[in-house]
A = this chain, B = another copy of it.
Amino acid sequence: MTGRLFVIGLGPGNPEQVTPEARAAIDAATHFFGYAPYLDRLTLASHQTRHVSDNREELSRAGAALEMAAAGRTVAVVSGGDPGVFAMAAAVCEAIEKGPDAWRAVELIVVPGITAMLAVAARIGAPLGHDFCAISLSDNLKPWELIERRLELAASAGFVIALYNPISRARPWQLGRAFELLRKHLPAETPVIFGRAAGRPDERIELAVLGEADPAEADMATCVIIGSRETRLIAREGQRPLVYTPRFAGEVR
């Protein structure tokens, strides 16, 4: 008898941004796998068990969760944001592909969540209002040359760029290098948004321009949004400026 595996997106951290669908999945599961800060967001009942693992152990965490689901239990893997965006859903699929046949028989239910770029964008206007891309800046899982090439092509294409995993203790220089590279393709006044913990009490949304953007404004939990040539700023008295990218675009470059 096989069980079920929920892969649940908890959103960026504001409990008001957790969907009822995610709440129902949490109520249904008895075993919870995840990185401690995400598990800490849950209030579990006495029949529900936590299985904490480190941030870097996605594949073994996915395997342990699948093992338990294949044995008939109702299991949840929890992610911040959306589980399908640089999070656990891809690791679970990878584990299923590489694992025993029994794991393919598990009923897999991915529960979407508000991903960081949407929450950050909402707090400052509509920077993602036109075509955009999302790039993980981590070179743990792909070569840095590929990231550089993607950044250049994305800027040439006129995409607004949302950067996930912009910086960490082990990856201190990558964001600075990305800014340098993008300065060759985009005007110095291009808006850059540093969005951390959007919608949480410790929220921090900082606005800069590409010419002066300081990588030290970002940490592991920051989503960095870099405008396109079309992205605009609206000054407001007594309120933070709005940043938005118009729905229309005129020029082919």
Contact = CB atoms under 8 A, between A and B. Distances in A.
Interface stretch (A45-53, A203-211, A237-245): A237-245
A178 interface: no
Contacts of A176: none
A36 B145 CA distance: 47
Protomer copies = 2
A118 interface: yes
A108 B242 contact: yes
A253 B178 CA distance: 19
Contact of A21 (B14, B86, B107): B14
Interface string A106-140: 01101111110011011101111111111110000
Interface in A209-253: 232, 234-237, 239, 242, 244-252
Contacts of A157: 133, 149-150, 153-154, 157
Interface residues of A, number: 81
Q: State the main secondary structure of chain A at its contact with B.
A: mixed
Contacts of A11: 19
Interface of A: 11, 14-21, 24, 58, 82-86, 89-94, 96-97, 104-105, 107-108, 110-115, 118-119, 121-123, 125-136, 141-143, 145-146, 149-150, 153-154, 156-159, 199, 232, 234-237, 239, 242, 244-252
19 contacts: A16-B20, A17-B112, A20-B20, A83-B122, A89-B121, A90-B130, A90-B245, A90-B247, A93-B129, A93-B234, A94-B246, A108-B242, A112-B122, A128-B134, A130-B136, A133-B134, A141-B249, A145-B252, A146-B158
